[in-house]
Structure 1
């Protein structure tokens, strides 16, 4: 099979596309012929060995895929050859075949393209669980989304609007903000050219109820200051590469809550409810991921570089099947 291979740690340019033996199937697992894979920022970090876990090289990067089941281990129930599925894992997605635990697979709704299904998983799940179960967003809430042009940020814009919130999008370019506006963001702030603190004060004179932060860096404290008393600040990542240091006096004086999101911390019942709601949003077409770039497997390095440099708008998808 053809696959993108990380032979050793480094910048994304170390990745090469070459022939590789297909992975062997194991108990509890399923072989999927990959149609499309989506790029996420942790893929970049894993190649550089800067993620919270390390994967020894050589390995096939890629954490999100969609395709058709080709083989099922004898002990697996509920998944059959020919099923259209999407799935996630730490690595392995940027290849013509992937072997994944059956429990990590989700059926693709009828009528949903594989590229759309691949782009929907990680970013929209992260954004939805954060908004629904951590921030507890309600209709009418004022929600600030940092990094609103990236995969998680743009998904958060879409989903917060779907939940009835009023969204202020903060992003790094007019192009990203234009896309955020097309999905319902009401207020737009370009943090590269604007005085963000003043812009948020003007857009939200009464303060925001929620900040969703997948970026970190200098923007975090500025956005925290824009919260009204009792607001909720949810941190879900540090795409800027800088972990912010928040003055705790702000938390005390403003009476806000700072919350972190990790999938493993969610209540199991809430997780099942959220996943069911997400599946319905995708199946109904009410929320469709924005695919900003679609590249062939041979251009995996270019796809990773778009995400690494923060130039991607929405999701970058690798067309594996051609």
Structure 2
């Protein structure tokens, strides 16, 4: 079978012929129809992540969508790049049967792959960790990314009365508006916490209940100043910086809560239930994210674009076409 393969850490994968996955006890074989290139895939393949350098060669891809031998459409996760074993960017892959999630009829495989664990994180960070309630006002930092795109729509589905997004580029701001943000604030032209805080406050309708933060850094410190007493900020990433200049006075005066979130805290059952919930919304047209399908043969260029920040949409590798 054909598979994208990391031959050397720090280099894009190349497509090579590899043996068919061997069936094992408790595993199923999935014919892969869609596999997203995520920042985690790229990070693991550099050999510099906190998981350590992966043994090469290996097939990357920490998640994917495909079909079982009986035709059942499934989503599945893998540990590729984090532990020994191959991932989703191949024509077929063997995965533990306990991890596959049967998808509802009519699911768009490429859209579900694009949503994937990013949308899982957005939903669970909003509703479980962030305790979002109907009628609350939410700020979504990084509203142009996959997590942010999903969060704008999911906050609405959870009953938020007003959703304010903050984005860096013009394209991201247009996308956030299109997805339903009530107001969109630019992030690019200032690194001043008070200035950005005032900009966010001007876009809101009174104090904010919840901030969803995949950025940290300056944006998180600014958004913290918009929260009502007892308000919550949930951090699930550090795209803008590993350190944020949070001031003690703001935290103490508002009795604010700063919370961390990771998908790693979810059980397989919780991930599965969330994926099915998200797929239902996607089928109904209530949840979309911008994505580009790319043939397996073109993965080298697509991977490089993700690695150096040129990929403006989620890239979804298509190893096997539906119906092929």
Same-fold call, TM > 0.5? yes
Pick aligned residue for 2:79 from 90, 106, 116: 90
**What is the CA-CA distance between 1:176 and the residue it aligns to?**
1.1
Structure 2, unpaired ranges of 5+? 81-86
- Count of equivalent residues: 309
Whether the 8 Å CA contact 2:185–2:203 is kept in 1: the answer is no
CA distance, structure 1, for counterparts of residue 269 and residue 58 of structure 2: 34
Q: How does 1:44-123 map to 2 (within 5 A)?
A: 44-54=42-52, 55-70=54-69, 81-91=70-80, 92-123=87-118
Residue 210 (structure 1) aligns with: 210
**What is the CA-CA distance between 1:304 and the residue it aligns to?**
2.9
Secondary structure of 1:160 counterpart: helix
Cα 1:119–1:19 shift into 2, 3 Å: same
Whether the 8 Å CA contact 1:44–1:308 is kept in 2: the answer is yes
Cα 1:266–1:105 shift into 2, 3 Å: closer
Whether the 8 Å CA contact 1:292–1:312 is kept in 2: the answer is no
Whether the 8 Å CA contact 1:157–1:184 is kept in 2: the answer is yes
CA distance, structure 1, for counterparts of residue 219 and residue 213 of structure 2: 9
CA distance, structure 1, for counterparts of residue 269 and residue 105 of structure 2: 26
CA distance, structure 1, for counterparts of residue 184 and residue 19 of structure 2: 48
Residue 83 (structure 2) aligns with: none
CA distance, structure 1, for counterparts of residue 63 and residue 273 of structure 2: 22
Cα 1:231–1:68 shift into 2, 3 Å: same
Residue 27 (structure 1) aligns with: 25
Alpha-carbon RMSD: 2.4
Cα 1:297–1:230 shift into 2, 3 Å: same
Whether the 8 Å CA contact 1:212–1:235 is kept in 2: the answer is yes
Residue 84 (structure 2) aligns with: none
Residue 41 (structure 1) aligns with: 39
Does residue 183 (structure 1) correspond to residue 179 (structure 2)? The answer is yes
> Which segment drifts farther, 221-230 or 48-57?
48-57
Q: How does 1:253-268 map to 2 (within 5 A)?
A: 253-265=253-265
Q: TM-score by structure 2 length?
A: 0.86
**What is the CA-CA distance between 1:174 and the residue it aligns to?**
1.2
